[in-house]
Structure 1
């Protein structure tokens, strides 16, 4: 039997039928786009070489149509990149090594910019959730990048750090599965996860709600 540590953690699969269909569609669409651009260029050439029907051609409208068509074609081209060779992945987390020393280090980057559009409370829930991942603490690094440099985001980060000092040991001690604080405390059932807990658990759980 092959050692599970030598087995891949994920596999890639390419559906050739889907690839063929997508590439055929891209090819036909490209021909139509080129035909449309040729038509626009021929209209301009006809206007320059013939002034028999000047009312049938308006340069401003022609330029507006050409700009919109080029913009839409460019957006379509960007969207076609992932259709060129779609890949499906299958992950096998059960093949992870039980030895924490063999696990790689993980960096988690969380970006925010405007506290008005991205409430600091939601951002901090994301930060604390990332910190509470079921992974060796010495190999997990969480970074928050605040492009706006807001003071209230910095203050919220300090408060989140203080809360995480209590929340993370609580999750590890009682095996909490839902480790996003907002989602966990919003659950209807009293225990938060449907399990029967001890009186000590409920005491610590309610204690964390106190600011």
Structure 2
């Protein structure tokens, strides 16, 4: 199977698969290392806690397969955060370690947590992931932790503080929002990733 959604035990796997199917692509939800390592595109979704998903990835022996993968990977929401070195969540969780930064608790000035709802992403330079997507387009967010702005940040979002909403290092991409819940603009981003 060319397109694989990693079975992280999360609730949003089917909604991602349906969003991909609407674009005319078939995908498989699996945690089988042999299928992941042969795939052409990987989606790494995440809902819930970093510790729970890292436990699943460890038990299924997927951490090194993801780390060593040479084709495009898209981490979604918690999946993006897992690409970093470490998360502040639950007294600290070691994560996959692609992006050399820590994931921090979102500290806002009296704004409610989690950050839920539509918010803008701002990017300074064009990237193929943003093909046919206007700067300051709105996507749907649900999160309480953030990836700080760093050298791999492609776009930022403001919620009391500016944070990374899209990141990329080599073949590893991450989006803090949920493209599968973001209507037409989210579908366009998924399409752009699938056609890279």
Scaled by the length of structure 2, the TM-score of the pair is: 0.22
Higher Cα radius of gyration:
1
Which structure's residues are more often helix, by fraction? 1
Which structure's residues are more often strand, by fraction? 2
